[in-house]
A and B are shown apart, each in its own frame.
Chain A
Amino acid sequence: MPDHKDITPPELTKDRGSLHPINHMKDFIMELLTSFGFEIIDGPEIETEEFNFDMLNIKKSHPARQMHDTFYVENKSNLLRTHTSPVQIRGMLEKKPPLAFISGGKVYRKDDDATHLPMFHQVEGIYVNENVNFAQLKDLIYKIIYSLFGDDVELRFRPSYFPFTEPSAEVDILSKEGKWLEILGCGLVNPIVLENCNIDSKKYSGLAFGLGIERIAMLKHGVIDIREFYKSNLDFLSQFK
Chain B
Amino acid sequence: MKIAFRHLVQHIKESPSIEHMSNKLFQLGHEHEIDGDIFDMEFTPNRGDCLSINGLLRDLAVFYTVDLNQEIYNEKLNELELDFENLSENTCPNISFLKLEIDHLPETYKNSLDNYFTDLGLSKNNFFTDVSNYLSYETGQPTHCYDARTISGKLLFHEIERDEEFETLLNKKITLTGKNSVFSLNDNIINLAGVVGGKSTSCSSNTKTVIVECAFFQPEAIIGKSVKYDIQSEASHKFERGVDPECHDKVLRRFINLVSDHAIIKDMSIVSYKSKENPIHQIPVNVKKINQIIGFNISEKQYINYLSKLGFVVEEGLIKVPSFRSDIKTQNDLAEEAARAIGYDNIAISKINIPNNERTNHKAIENKLRFFLLDNGFYEVINSPFVSLSSEGAIKVDNPLDSNREYLRTNITNSLVENLLFNERRQKDSIKLFEISDVYSSSNGINKKRKLSVIASGRVGENYKDFSKKINKQYLAVLFQKILPNEAFDVKILSRELLDTKIKNEIVSLEVDINSFSADTLSYTEVSQSPERFAQYSPISDLPSSIKDISYSIKDYSKTQQLQDLLLNYQSDIIKNIYIFDYFENEKQEEIKIGFRFTFQSKKVTLNSAEIELVYNDIVDKSLNINGISIPGL
Q: Is the CB of B386 within 8 A of A138?
A: no
Q: Is B535 part of the binding interface, using a Cβ–Cβ cutoff of 8 Å?
A: yes
What's the nearest-Cβ distance from chain B to residue A30, in Å? 8
Instruction: Judge whether A17 and B380 touch: CB under 8 Å.
Output: yes
Cβ contacts under 8 Å, B418 to chain A: 232
Interface residues of B (CB under 8 A from A): 26-29, 31, 44-47, 219-220, 223-224, 227, 240, 292-296, 330, 332-333, 335-336, 339-340, 344-345, 347-352, 354-360, 362, 370, 373-386, 395-401, 405, 408, 418-419, 422-423, 426, 428, 430-433, 438, 440, 442, 446, 448, 461-466, 528, 530-531, 534-541, 556-558, 560, 564, 576, 579-580, 583, 585, 587, 590, 592, 594
Chain A residue with Cβ nearest B353: A37
18 A-B pairs (CB sep. < 8 Å): A10-B594, A16-B528, A17-B373, A25-B534, A37-B357, A38-B354, A40-B360, A66-B224, A67-B399, A133-B295, A134-B295, A140-B354, A159-B336, A160-B29, A166-B335, A167-B294, A188-B293, A191-B332
Please determine whether B354 and A1 come into contact, CB atoms closer than 8 angstroms.
Answer: no
Q: Which residues of A contact B379 (CB under 8 A)?
A: 17-18, 20, 234, 237-238
Residues of A close to B428: CB separation below 8 A = 234
User: B385 near A157 (CB under 8 angstroms)?
Assistant: no
Contact B227 A75 (CB under 8 A): no
Chain B contacts for A151, CB-based, 8 A: none
How many angstroms between the C-alpha atoms of A223 and B534 in the bound complex? 11
8 Å CB interface, A198-241 against B:
205, 220-224, 228-241
Chain A to chain B: the 9 pairs with minimum beta-carbon distance, closest first: A159-B29, A135-B295, A133-B295, A37-B354, A167-B336, A161-B44, A157-B344, A135-B350, A232-B419
Chain B nearest Cβ from A241, distance in angstroms: 7
Judge whether A140 and B224 touch: CB under 8 Å: no
CB within 8 Å for A10 and B580 given contacts A63-B45, A135-B348:
yes
> Which among A28, A131, A232, A235 is the interface contact of B383 at CB below 8 angstroms?
A232
Interchain CA distance A221-B534 in the complex, whole Å: 6
Q: How far is the CA of A87 from the CA of B385 in the complex (A)?
A: 20
In the bound complex, CA of A146 to CA of B150 (Å) = 65
Among the listed A74, A133, A240, which residue makes an inter-chain contact with B535, where contact means beta carbons less than 8 Å apart? Answer: A240
Distance in angstroms from A135 CB to nearest chain B CB is: 3
Tell me whether A174 is interfacial, beta carbon within 8 Å.
Answer: no
Q: Is A19 an interface residue when CB atoms closer than 8 A count as contact?
A: yes
Query: A19–B510 Cα gap in the complex (Å)?
Result: 19
Complex alpha-carbon distance, A62 and B44, angstroms: 12
Residues of A within 8 A of B (CB): 1-2, 4, 6-7, 9-10, 12-20, 22-25, 27-28, 30, 34, 36-40, 44-46, 60-63, 66-68, 71-76, 78, 80, 98, 100, 110, 112, 117-119, 127, 129, 131, 133-140, 142, 156-161, 166-169, 188, 190-192, 205, 220-224, 228-241
A139 proximity list for chain B (CB < 8 A): 349-352
Output the least CB separation between B537 and chain A (Å). Answer: 5
Given A2-B558, A15-B462, A46-B440 in contact, is the A71-B397 Cβ separation under 8 Å? yes
- Interface centre among B219, B224, B358, by most chain A C-beta atoms within 10 angstroms, is B224
A78 adjacent to B446 (CB under 8 Å): yes
With A73-B408, A158-B26 as given contacts, are A24 and B376 in contact (CB-CB < 8 Å)?
no
**A34–B362 alpha-carbon span in the complex (Å):** 10
Report which residue of A39, A135, A138 has the largest number of chain B beta carbons within 10 angstroms of its beta carbon. A135
Give the docked Cα–Cα distance between A73 and B462 (Å): 44
In the bound complex, CA of A60 to CA of B224 (Å) = 12
Q: Would you call A232 and B399 a contact (CB within 8 A)?
A: no
Q: Is the CB of A220 within 8 A of B463?
A: no
- Give every chain A residue within 8 A of B333 (Cβ-Cβ): 166
Most chain A CB neighbours (cut-off 10 Å) among B28, B29, B426, B534: B534
A228 to chain B minimum Cβ distance, whole angstroms, is: 8
**Contact (A20, B381) CB under 8 Å given A135-B350, A156-B26:** yes
Q: CA–CA, A21 to B344, complex, Å?
A: 33
* Contact pick for B560, options A7, A30, A78, CB 8 Å: A7
Cα distance, A137 to B442, chains bound together (Å) = 41
- Select which of A34, A37, A71, A134 is within 8 A of B355 by beta carbon: A37
**Quick check: A229 and B382 within 8 Å, CB to CB?**
yes
Contact assessment for A166 and B330 in the assembled complex, using a CB-CB cutoff below 8 Å: yes
Contact call B344/A159, Cβ cutoff below 8 A: yes
In the bound complex, do residue B534 and residue A220 qualify as a contact, i.e. CB atoms below 8 Å apart?
Answer: yes
Interface contact A205-B370, CB-CB below 8 Å: no
Contacts of A190 in B (CB 8 A): 332
Q: Could you say which residues of chain B place their CB within 8 Å of the CB of A61?
A: 219-220, 223
CA gap between A2 and B361 in the complex, in Å: 54
Closest chain B residue to A168 by CB distance? B336
Q: Which residues of B have CB within 8 Å of A71? A: 397-400
Contacts A6-B557, A135-B347, A135-B348; A73 near B397 (Cβ below 8 A):
yes
Contact at B330–A74, with CB atoms within 8 Å? Answer: no
Cross-interface CB contact of B440 among A23, A34, A45, A239, cutoff 8 Å:
A45
Q: How far is the CB of A161 from chain B (nearest CB, A)?
A: 4
Which residues of B are found within 8 Å of A24, using beta-carbon distances? Answer: 530-531
- In the complex, A72→B375 CA distance in Å? 39
Residue of B nearest to A99 (CB): B357
* CB < 8 Å neighbour of A76 from B26, B358, B398: B398
